[in-house]
Amino acid sequence: MRTSLPFAFAVVATLAMSFMSSRAFAGDPSGLSGKQLFFRCVNCHGADGQGLKAGTLQVPSIAGLDAWYLEGQIMKFRNDTRGAHPNDTKGLMMRAMARSLNGDAEVKAVSAYIASLAPKVEKPDTSADIKRGQQLYTMVCMACHGANSQGNPDPNIRAPSQVALESWYIQEQLVKFRTGVRGSVKDLEGLRMVPMVRDALPLMAKNLGATLEEADRDILAYINTLSGKP
């Protein structure tokens, strides 16, 4: 695996900031607040949680994501359910950061703080066929993610709202699900995504006269028209 210099720098800088923040608040008997813990995240995700781009390293906005979803993903990074694949460089970085948190209480605290931040607003891609995106979303995504992409925290589903996620990041995750980088047998929620985006979506796209690339673009544009509310 080849690691880019911006990526390597980000890993070192982020871990250093994590160490300094933990030392800075080590004397606080009440534990760290979510805002204090978030200091470990700002080097990559930004002070407002809306993501950053440094050279070839692009890091997504996480602001406004549901706390239950954030908790679940951080725990996956902590226990090797996510971010353990050798081709998932960003996931490997997140795994190290997630493990710097001291137990469930800190995971919950930082997740709640991130959820309180204002989400990034993204305009739909005007080159997309939003009507076709709606058709594809209804057939492939709606059952789990909801009619308005409000998400579903039911333990048997646990599908997040996609509204606060940036389109480029969702696209990146679709590729990871299709190529086996995400959705291992240890990750039951991720595993359910694999046949939907690898098998069902290409078939639906073909039936509607679209390529897979066009289908992804159209669905993402349609998601950006949704409110994310029940």
Contact 104, 28 (CB under 8 A): no
Is 122 domain-assigned? no
Task: Say what the pTM is.
Answer: 0.86
Q: Are 109 and 36 in contact (CB under 8 A)?
A: no
Domain-located, residue 123: no
The total of structural domains in the chain comes to 2
Mean pLDDT of the chain, nearest integer: 89
Segments forming the whole domain that contains residue 50: 5-116
Q: Which residues contact 169 (CB under 8 A, 6 or more apart)?
A: 60, 61
Q: What is the pLDDT of residues 162-207, one digit of tens each?
A: 999 999 999 999 999 999 999 999 999 999 999 999 999 999 999 9
Average pLDDT over residues 74-94: 96
- The pLDDT of residue 9: 46
Confidence of residue 26 (pLDDT cuts 50, 70, 90): very low
Domain final position from 54, 84, 116:
116
Domain identity same for 23 and 73? yes
Tell me: do 98 and 12 sit in the same domain: yes
Specify whether 17 is located in the same domain as 111. Answer: yes
CATH code for the domain in which residue 208 is found? 1.10.760.10
